Structure 1
């Protein structure tokens, strides 16, 4: 059955399935599914170590975020190792990594973030039309809007409520409905896997657990000057630290 394991098209599909399972959050892609769809003629006792080998190689390449020179050196070493891979398999792995490196890297970075990150910032200068203190009416103020959320969520799902007349800051949170993404249905070949994966990615981008938080800040001239002064102090401190001893 060695010839079955040498098939480049099946190996491309296997790598796509492993990537979906390992890096893109599709736990439904199991060993049994991969064998049935891609290597149905290969016995379990042969397929299991082959799958473990490919999973280990893909994990090593992704964990090190290998560039193409590192990848070629790594795969060359694997072809010379006893029980390693063939040159044809190395070529398939190289082609796969060159096509999927960016997506896998982005997915790993997103998974490593525990908290929400800054997703957007907008600002404008406006004039107060009403205030508790008449002296502040028509004075210029800086309006800053910060959007926080998990990477990959749909920014169109949340809306900002109206600004409030609060001297320091105000924040508003809005939530969108959650939905569960679909799973890859077929792994007959690499094209089918990648097409299904792209469908899931597009679907997830639109409906996957979307949530945004908006922090709305209002600064008068005094507060803007205070912030600029603090930023200047931070810049001076950084410059001091970066100066050679």
Structure 2
């Protein structure tokens, strides 16, 4: 029973971190998570657990790990348990969490990247070169995901945004025909 309760608390912590970091839920705080999920844990131990889980989620999300990549990553993390890794229960919780949240987190990360790119291009003045960094997660042609970072000047940013709008219009036309 204690193991089930610990797994439930860890799952709640992972979901709470995602709510705060990716879904911008300002009501979720580190203090709330500690009070609701780990009230008996000393503050320094909770802070270490919170920071470790947040860092692992960030690593997993940044790489947009598929199932095989995630399993390899978590296996490596369990092997270095004594030096900042995770135990088997934590690895299982992270695996369940990512399986349920991957698509949503990827969509949020992609949208945030495009919004940053658009706002950066809108803030620039015409004489300076705008450099937009766009982080995109692509998996169009295969199951393997890749992290892509592109740098554009203002003209290329506008050109890319126009092409993306054209693609969206084409998709909309196809979808509405059927």
How does the TM-score come out when normalised to structure 1? 0.45
Runs of 4 or more, structure 1, over 3 Å off, are 116-122
Higher relative contact order (CA 8 A, sep 6+): 1
Structure with higher Rg: it is 1
Hey, what does 1:11 align to over in structure 2? Answer: 10
1:107 corresponds in structure 2 to 108
C-alpha displacement of 1:28: 2.6
Q: How far is the alpha carbon of 1:27 from its aligned partner?
A: 2.8
**In the alignment, what sits opposite 2:91?**
90
For 1:53 and 1:60, the matched residues in 2 are separated by 11
Output one character per residue of 1:123-169: Cα deviation in whole Å (capped at 9) or x when no partner.
xxxxxxxxxxxxxxxxxxxxxxxxxxxxxxxxxxxxxxxxxxxxxxx
Aligned partners of 2:14 and 2:89: how far apart in 1? Answer: 14
In structure 2, what is the equivalent of residue 32 of structure 1?
31
Q: Deviations over 1:56-85 (max 9, x none)?
A: 100000000011111001101111112321
Matches for 1:68-83 after TM superposition, within 5 Å = 68-81=67-80, 82=82, 83=84
Q: Following TM superposition, by how much is the alpha carbon of 1:121 offset from its aligned partner in structure 2, in angstroms?
A: 3.4
Q: State the shift of 1:120 in Å.
A: 5.5
Aligned residues: 120
CA distance in 1 between counterparts of 2:168 and 2:73 reads 39
Flag structure 2 segments of 5+ consecutive residues without an equivalent. Answer: 119-160, 171-178
By percentage of residues, which structure has more strand? 1
Q: State the shift of 1:43 in Å.
A: 1.3
1 CA distance for matches of 2:44 and 2:168?
51
Runs of 5+ consecutive residues of structure 1 not aligned to the other structure? 123-245
